[in-house]
Structure 1
Amino acid sequence: MRMTRLAIDTDYLRNWLARLLELPSPTGYTDTIARECCGELERLGIRYELTRRGAIRAKFPGLRAKPARAIISHLDTLGAQVKALKPNGRLGIVPIGNWSARFAEGARCTIFSEKGSYRGTILPLMASGHTFNEAVDTQPTGWDHIELRVDTLARDAKDLRQTGIDIGDTIAIDARPEFMANGFINSRHLDNKAGVATMFAALAALARDEMEPPVDTYWLFSIAEETGVGASSVLVPDVASMVTIDNGTTAPGQNSSEFGVTVAMADQTGPFDYHLTRKLVQLCRDNDIRYQKDVFRYYRSDSASAVEAGADVRTALITFGVDASHGYERIHMHALRSLAELVTSYVLSPVEITRDAEELAGLQGFTSQPTEAAEDVRPKEAGRRVADWADPVE
């Protein structure tokens, strides 16, 4: 494949990510961020439409309609909900999405009630060392062991009711982003606002250079990935291949990195599409984009929700390495730029599997996977036979 990557405006990427992080968007409370993204799509001259609940489907026209491609990331983040109005004037809470109460302790947050929003802090039940002494350090971790202190006069549950706060109200956790001069970015909710910013950076490059891809590309923004819904209701039948952008996990036992693109080979739902994944890897090689591969055992993404909803679509997952995922996360701008470069390369690359234009077809043009034994390509030392490199026989 020829080099197809475009130059990415990293200032735009950074500034747009900073704007996204300012907008609260826990699952179920995504109208504001959806409106903001639609406004940016209009500014870029990209046509879009919204589902009833606010998932966004934008279309970048290509030379042909099919087999269409899709790029997807999710607008929603982790958060919490009010579970109880407690007798002490504080709130019992439960999580939105899967994250540890360990990372909720000490968080500043906003409660959205029908009468307006309130600020507050999530605290352990035993928050004062002056009162509880060593019990502060021995208290268990869990959602039953924390509460939300609201910044209003609330001495009991009656006072809370008078504020308008009620059971089920949404709680947004402050992102508290910090952009470092050396390229590191620390913040909550980089999963997956960094993925959204990356998509917009790639879109901006394609629009700036007035590119015309070989096929139509749909740019999808889902609104309930953190609760497992994701891409289940935003695809169109013409889409044959979908590439998800989300976070990888840089942790012991993982091969992800905060630099370059981390290509996921599988997650807890199984392997990603053989042909699409290897095409993305080859595009990295051809376009001099740093990459590594990884397998995630406790992870699912928009790709999983699409397939589980019955979409017959090839799926792949490309990620930016995140340290402390679903907590106080850290990434590096190098990974975001690399991802945006790969996305432009993919969108502009030729379609190899033309049969994918049809939902059902015969065997002609169907793909194949290698089954023959591989040749030994290990290095040869002068005067040493290839057979000498074989593993010793016990």
Structure 2
Amino acid sequence: MQYIIDQLKNLTSIDSPSGFTGDVTKYTMEQFEKLGYAPYLTKKGCVVCDLGGEGSPLILSAHIDTLGGMVAEIKKNGRLRITNIGGLNANNCETENCRIRTRSGKVFEGTLQMNDPSIHVNGEYSKQNRTFDDMEIVIDEEVKEKKNTEALDICNGDFVCFDPRTTVTESGYIKSRFLDDKLSVAILLGLAKELREKKLRLRRKVYVFITVYEEVGHGACGALPADAEEIISVDMGCIGEGLACDEKMVSICAKDSHGPYDYDVTNDLIRCAEDSKLNFAVDVYPYYGSDADAALAAGYDLKHGLIGAGVYASHGYERSHIDGVGNTLKLLELYIKKE
């Protein structure tokens, strides 16, 4: 568990909005190599790692790309209007610190603020819309007009990366942006570590597939191992009104907004959880899509499933718990190891 938490902290500290994932995939490759595996990168930039086993190949997929922003305009006042990458929502980014990463390699600090954000000056502050057109990145440099910002080499198309603010409480709660889905990547690294250290035997061939464009819809649309017969997305488990899951559970998704998951795969996951008395929930996610969905939409002939540790406040400042991590790790072990 400590290894997983340490990996999560390291992963969230590396900026990686969709389209800007080179640093974090390099780090992830290095971690698999340290564990004694031989990962490789696809042309698209996904990380593939063969964990061993023989027959009926299974892919365990997670994504390492996150939500983020991109400079859409340098305004007359030198501040930045941004466009969101993925489902980043302006409502929960207000006053968040960020980094502007230029194409020339320079990095600048900033904060996302409302236009005219002082309550002592703006009497309409509470009534204003929270959209990216009504907000701006205030750069922490001496910037008064557009030419000052341009002189810093900041351009349209530069990535804007928000602080994750990762913390783990004494009571075991894990709070951070981008638990979706760096928590799952950390869990898969933990699984790979356990397989090596405990010399667990696999009942089938298992690949880990770490994607880099999930948040914009085409993470697992290509370059999957050609012999694969099944894919399980290890992604965040939804928490919200009408759902049974909480942060201490592993969630098994029966259906999301793309449709139901494979009946037999879902039943097998439920049976594993029941037999070992894991703390789990089966839920229907109303507004959700996964890498498994993307793979099927791209034409892959695969059985598919979806599990994940319960994550509260998805696409915002998210929260999970080490018990949810433990239940997810255990379910994966049960599903792949030979009795």
TM-score band (shorter)? Answer: over 0.9
After superposition, give the CA deviation of every residue in 1:165-211 in whole Å (9 maximum; x if it has no partner).
Answer: 00010111110111101110111111111111111111111111112
Q: Answer yes or no: is the 8 Å Cα contact 1:222–1:234 preserved in 2.
A: no
Residue in 1 aligned with 2:132? 143
SS of the residue aligned with 2:121? helix
Say yes or no: does 1:91 pair with 2:61.
no
Say yes or no: does 1:131 pair with 2:121.
yes
Following the alignment from structure 2 to structure 1, what is the Cα–Cα distance between the partners of residues 113 and 58? 45
Residue in 2 aligned with 1:388? none
Q: Answer yes or no: is the 8 Å Cα contact 1:78–1:98 preserved in 2.
A: yes
Following the alignment from structure 1 to structure 2, what is the Cα–Cα distance between the partners of residues 60 and 321? 25
Residue in 2 aligned with 1:322? 311
Structure-to-structure mapping, 1:191-340, within 5 angstroms: 191-340=180-329
Tell me which amino acid in the other structure corresponds to 2:274: R
Residue in 1 aligned with 2:43? 52
Following the alignment from structure 1 to structure 2, what is the Cα–Cα distance between the partners of residues 143 and 256? 32
Following the alignment from structure 1 to structure 2, what is the Cα–Cα distance between the partners of residues 321 and 286? 20
After superposition, give the CA deviation of every residue in 1:328-370 in whole Å (9 maximum; x if it has no partner).
Answer: 11111101111111111111148xxxxxxxxxxxxxxxxxxxx
Shift of 1:320: 1.4
Tell me which amino acid in the other structure corresponds to 1:61: G
Structure-to-structure mapping, 1:98-109, within 5 angstroms: 98-109=87-98
Q: Answer yes or no: is the 8 Å Cα contact 2:69–2:88 preserved in 1.
A: no
Shift of 1:287: 2.1
After superposition, give the CA deviation of every residue in 1:99-123 in whole Å (9 maximum; x if it has no partner).
Answer: 3100111110011112311110000
C-alpha RMSD of the superposition: 1.1
Shift of 1:214: 2.3
SS of the residue aligned with 2:16? coil
Following the alignment from structure 2 to structure 1, what is the Cα–Cα distance between the partners of residues 223 and 255? 23
Following the alignment from structure 1 to structure 2, what is the Cα–Cα distance between the partners of residues 180 and 20? 18
SS of the residue aligned with 1:111? strand
Following the alignment from structure 1 to structure 2, what is the Cα–Cα distance between the partners of residues 61 and 285? 26
Shift of 1:212: 2.6
Tell me which amino acid in the other structure corresponds to 1:300: G
Pick from 33, 40, 44: which aligns with 1:42?
A: 33
SS of the residue aligned with 1:233? coil
Residue in 1 aligned with 2:58? 69
Q: Answer yes or no: is the 8 Å Cα contact 2:255–2:285 preserved in 1.
A: yes
Tell me which amino acid in the other structure corresponds to 2:213: A
Tell me which amino acid in the other structure corresponds to 1:52: K
Q: TM-score, normalised by structure 1?
A: 0.84
Following the alignment from structure 1 to structure 2, what is the Cα–Cα distance between the partners of residues 92 and 156? 14
SS of the residue aligned with 1:98? coil
Say yes or no: does 1:158 pair with 2:143.
no
Aligned residues: 338
Q: Answer yes or no: is the 8 Å Cα contact 1:124–1:146 preserved in 2.
A: yes
Following the alignment from structure 1 to structure 2, what is the Cα–Cα distance between the partners of residues 71 and 242? 6
Following the alignment from structure 1 to structure 2, what is the Cα–Cα distance between the partners of residues 333 and 299? 23
Instruction: Please identify runs of 4+ aligned residues in structure 1 that moved more than 3 A.
Output: none
Structure 2 runs not aligned, ≥5 long = none
Pick from 179, 182, 189: which aligns with 2:171?
A: 182
Shift of 1:234: 3.2
Following the alignment from structure 2 to structure 1, what is the Cα–Cα distance between the partners of residues 294 and 165? 30
Greater gyration radius? 1
Following the alignment from structure 2 to structure 1, what is the Cα–Cα distance between the partners of residues 254 and 10? 31
Tell me which amino acid in the other structure corresponds to 2:331: L
Tell me which amino acid in the other structure corresponds to 1:337: G
Residue in 2 aligned with 1:347? 336
Q: Answer yes or no: is the 8 Å Cα contact 1:126–1:139 preserved in 2.
A: no
Following the alignment from structure 2 to structure 1, what is the Cα–Cα distance between the partners of residues 311 and 328? 13
Following the alignment from structure 2 to structure 1, what is the Cα–Cα distance between the partners of residues 29 and 161? 21
SS of the residue aligned with 2:12? helix
Q: Answer yes or no: is the 8 Å Cα contact 1:324–1:330 preserved in 2.
A: yes
SS of the residue aligned with 1:54? coil
Following the alignment from structure 2 to structure 1, what is the Cα–Cα distance between the partners of residues 73 and 174? 35
Q: Answer yes or no: is the 8 Å Cα contact 2:173–2:321 preserved in 1.
A: yes
Pick from 5, 10, 13: which aligns with 1:22?
A: 13
Following the alignment from structure 1 to structure 2, what is the Cα–Cα distance between the partners of residues 234 and 121? 37
Q: Answer yes or no: is the 8 Å Cα contact 1:262–1:293 preserved in 2.
A: yes
